[in-house]
A and B are shown apart, each in its own frame.
Chain A
C-alpha cells in the first residue's frame, strides 16, 4: 500500500524487550490513530493525534508509549509487554479529527509477545 504503511509487518518479542512500531501516511492527513485488534474482538482505539498533538489516550497501559514527530509519522514504543498484548496493531489516518472523517488504515503489525 502506498497510502498508509506500517513496519514491521510481523514482530515477535520477549516480555523484557523494547521495540517500536512505525507508521507513515502519504495522504497529507493531519490526524493519526493507533488501534489494537485482538482475535475475534473489535478494534480498540488506543491513541489519537491531531497535528502532532495527542488528543486521545484511551486508558492504555504505560507500557505502550506513542510518539508523533510530525503529521506523517507515528510510532508506538513497546516495553515490558505481556502475552495478552499479542494482537494486530493498526495505524490509521484521516484528513482531520472531524466528525465522520474517513479513516484510512495501514496493513497492521502482527505482534506476538512470548
Chain B
C-alpha cells in the first residue's frame, strides 16, 4: 500500500534561517503534489502545487522541488519568520484524490 512520510514531526529553527521539510513516498506514482499549511484549530490552507513533469516551483519565500526518481519532495521556507510557525502538510494527488502526510510542525524562534 502507498506510504507517505514527512521527515520529522517537529522542526525548530532560528528566525532568518531556511527551513527544509521532506516528503517521501513509496508504492505510489502521483500526478502532482501539493503543500498545505495548517494552524492550530484551523483547516489546511493551500500553498503550492507541483506536477510530476516539473522540477521546481517558487512562490515568494517558498520553494518546492519534486523528484519522481527519488520519490521525494522538498519544501523550503527561506528567511523564516515567527509567523511561519505552523504545521505543513504534503499531499500527493491522483485525479481529484489527495493522500496526505501526517505533517511537520515548524517553530521559528525570534
Point out residues on A near B: beta carbons under 8 Å. Answer: 4, 31, 40-43, 45, 48, 56, 90, 92, 94, 96-108
State in angstroms the CA–CA spacing of A53 and B94 once bound together. Answer: 20
Q: Which residues does chain A contribute within 8 Å of B42, judged by CB atoms? A: 107-108
A24 CB, nearest partner CB in chain B, Å:
14
* B: number of interface residues (CB 8 Å): 25
Main secondary structure of the interface of A (DSSP, over half): loop
Contact indicator A41/B102 (Cβ below 8 Å): yes
Among candidates A42, A56, A92, A107, residue contacting B97 with C-beta atoms closer than 8 Å: A56
For A42, A45, A90, the residue with the greatest tally of chain B CB atoms inside 10 Å of its CB is: A42
State in angstroms the CA–CA spacing of A43 and B9 once bound together. Answer: 15
Q: Which residues does chain A contribute within 8 Å of B89, judged by CB atoms? A: 42-43
- How many A-B pairs have beta carbons closer than 8 Å: the answer is 59
B77 CB, nearest partner CB in chain A, Å:
20
State in angstroms the CA–CA spacing of A88 and B95 once bound together. Answer: 25
Contact with A along B33-49 (1 / 0, CB 8 A): 01000000111111001
Contact indicator A100/B97 (Cβ below 8 Å): no
B27 CB, nearest partner CB in chain A, Å:
15
Contact indicator B4/A42 (Cβ below 8 Å): yes
Q: Which residues does chain A contribute within 8 Å of B51, judged by CB atoms? A: 100
